[in-house]
Every structure is written in structure tokens, then in C-alpha cells.
Structure 1
Amino acid sequence: MPGEVSGTEGSSSRRDAAELRVSHRDRDRAVEVLRVAAGEGRLTADELDERVGAALAARTAADLAVLTADLPPEGMPQQARDVIRIDQRLGDAKRTGRWLVPRRMEIRLKFGELKLDFTEAVITHDTLHIDLDLRIGGNLTLVTRPGIVVDADDITYTRGDISIQPPADPDAPVLLRVLLAGRSTGGDIVARLPRRTPWQWLQRKPRTGEARDWRNPLGGAHP
């Protein structure tokens, strides 16, 4: 009948779509999906490296589809914003839970504190640039997890302290580099892992996002 598509024609149409050439944007989108999956523990470091390499070399839609076929569709990330600007004067602000990490942040703080909690954040690219202007009483706290590296070498400061906690697991694949630049004329910068809850202390459990030593699952010193 008119308007109907035969089975042969439908199969041909799907095959043609799968064989369409992909763009740089298509490849970048697939890489974002893979990075989110790795951040959630769905892919190992080796699998991530292998699939990212294949995504960047992909030529057709079918080449990309096979790389994410075993990942849940709800893991598909939204499009990250290029820049988020925060100008906080008096009072505190925070980003927690599954917030989408942008490519760049411009942060101005005075008599207030901003906490950026990355323990459940959705990370879709490998670098976050933060441009800082910390005035008196303006403090920045970064709560990290394994795979997040904070670099504050480009901060100039006349007052205030900078405290960057070493990574919990130096061998973890780097999911995100946070590059801090700008100035501090009276504020503090702290990068740390999540604090243990009282129950975690009693059970000797690792902090949220902290790597567990599987050779000694209860934590503490090795026998």
C-alpha cells in the first residue's frame, strides 16, 4: 500500500543510518558518556582508555554505538556549560549531589564560603579551569574523590591559607584536573576528601569516594 515501507527498505534505512559518518561533536559526546561511566565505576581505567581511543578514531555511527551499547541510557550526560560565574558576598553557597561540572568557573567571594563537592558530580570532560578572586572572608572548599587532581600553583595570595590534600589513591585514573588560577587577598582554599561520618569511624570504613584497600578490607594497619 502507498506510504508503507517494506521490511527490506526499513532494514536498508537502518543500515544506512548506522553507516553515516560521524562528526567531531559526535565523538566528543561519546567520550563524555564513557567518562561518566568510568566515574561511576562502570568501566575500568583500561576499558576507558581503550574505548576513548576507539571513539576518537570512529568513522561511522555504528563504530560509536558499539562503544556505549552496554551502558545504561540514563547515564547519558547533559551538555556541560562552558562557564559558570559565582559572585558571592555574605553568606554561603554550595554545589553538591549530581551537579554537572562546567568547563570553566569564575568565582568571586567576600565574607562567604563556597563548597564544590565532586563526590557525586557528573564529569564530562577532563579539565575544569577555575578563575578565583578571594577577598577577606571568602573561602573555597573543594571536596574531591579518587581521580580528581587539584592544582593551585597559579594562585597568588597575600593573605589566607592554601591546603591541598594529596590524592587518596595516586594510582587511580585521572578523571578531572581542577586548575586554580587568580588571587587571594584574605581567603582560604581547601581541597580535601569527604569527612568520615561517626559510623564510618566506628566501622573503620573508607570515606565516601575513598579507595578501599582490598587486601585489608576493614581498614587500619596491615597485620
Structure 2
Amino acid sequence: MDADNGGRPGPENPPGPLQKQGERQERQPVNMTKPPSVHSGPSAPPAVAEGDIRASDADRDRVAEILREALAEGRLDPQEHAERIDTVYRAKTMGELEPVIRDLPAAGAGRAQPGPDAYAYGPRAPVPDQNLVAIFSASVRKGRWQAPARINAFALFGSVEIDLTEAVFPQQQVQINVTAVFGSVEIRVPENITLRSSGSGILGSFEIETHDAEDGNAPQILVNGYAVLGSVEARPKRGAWIRDLRDRVWEDHRALRHELREERRERHHQLRHDRQEWQERLRAARRERRDRFR
């Protein structure tokens, strides 16, 4: 070492091994990232896929409603509808429900409005007026029936119920004249018709939920009259629609085919039973003849 520079190697002296090691340590890059903590908690569980979510009763009912609409519109036949309904109520996850309605529109989205020829208006035998009277009693008209052009309802200390949700309209306009004196008259109509009113209440209630149908060819119902210390109420029944009359004919045709199948099945059973009885009588006659000659 050179004594003049305090024992440090001069330019003429090569650096020692300790100095080389110090220089290598100074040139190493410093890791600024924080090392993972040993005491960190468990990682969050992976998110559940949407198709693996458990289906609720409301989800199954929603899918069943879409299938019911598809059956009513003719998109599914009864056999396909029964098979898919069975799949719906056996499904446990949303992924099992989705394929059932993949080829169907959403509820109400694919509901086609009836065309100009959907309603069977035209010349035919007139339907007589319907008179409903309730005096200290009740009078009800509901189910499938032909709505006449004029319906007269009178309630005196009684109640009258008129349900047109399943009725067939031979004509476009139906007029309902109501009189409620210490009584009540309740009218229910489908959603896709026109409902208007020109009545009034005298110390009573005359409530008509007026509605204009989007289809100009839809039936029109006009409620006239008054309520004296009574009540008159008319409104659409939610979920009730007038189907195309041709769909009603198709339903009747299917019901007729079902009845014919049942009749053929019963006739077949009767013929088989008669044949078995005839064969039994024939065997009995043979045994009798055989015993006679013995």
C-alpha cells in the first residue's frame, strides 16, 4: 500500500477482493415491491356463474308463463308444452331454465295483435238480449257464452256479476244498461277491448275503468246507467285476453278429437269384453256336449 494515501490502493495498485465484493453489492438492483405477507387472509372465492345460480319459484313461474303464451299462440303443441313444463319444474338452476325458452319470445313480446279478419263479425242469427235481475238475490253470467248486442242488468238489494273474459263477440259493439238500487253490479272484460262509460252515481258509486284498445277491430263495450245508493264497477280483468276466434275453433277441434278417441277406446274395450264372453259361452257349450256323450 501507498503510505501517502492513507493505506488506500493507488491507481497503480489493483483493488483487493473485499473492495470488489462491496462494488458488486452496490450495483445490485433494489427490489421496491412489498413482499407478500405471511399472515394475509384467504383469497376471495371465485364468483358464481349466472347459469349456476339456483332458480326460485318465481323464476319457474315466469318461464311457465312464457310457455303458456307460446301454447296459446300456436308456437308449441300440447305435447311440447307438457314436456317443457315438466323440465321447468324439475330445473334447479337458471342454466337449466334458459334452454327451455331459448327459441321463444319473452312473455308478451311475441303476442301478435289480431288482424282485421281475426274477429268473426258478420251477418248471422242475432243473439237475443240478455236480462240479469237480482232482487234480494244474486245473478251471475260467466264462462263461455255469446255476448248479445244489449245486456240489461238490474240489482235491487242484490248483486249482478257479468264476466265477459271468456265470451264470444258475434258483433263488435255491446251495450250494457245497468241499474243498481241498494245493490251492486260488477262487470269484468278482457284487456284488449275498448271499454267506455256514460253512467252516473246518485248517492252511490259508478266506477268504470275506461280503456281504448290499440286494435280498431276489437270489440267495444259501452256501460250506461246509474247507481242509487248502490255501486256499479267495470274494469278489465288482468291476464284475460280475447284470443283469435280461429284459435277457439282449433280448441274445439282438439276437444272433439279427444272425445272421439275416448269413444273408440271404450268401443274397443266393449268389443273385447263381448268377444271374451262369447268365447266363454262357446267353451261352456263344448264342455256340456262333451259331458253329454260320456
What TM-score do you get using the length of structure 1 for normalisation? 0.50
Structure holding more strand per residue? 1
Q: Which of the pair has the greater relative contact order for Cα pairs under 8 Å at 6+ separation?
A: 1
Structure holding more helix per residue? 2
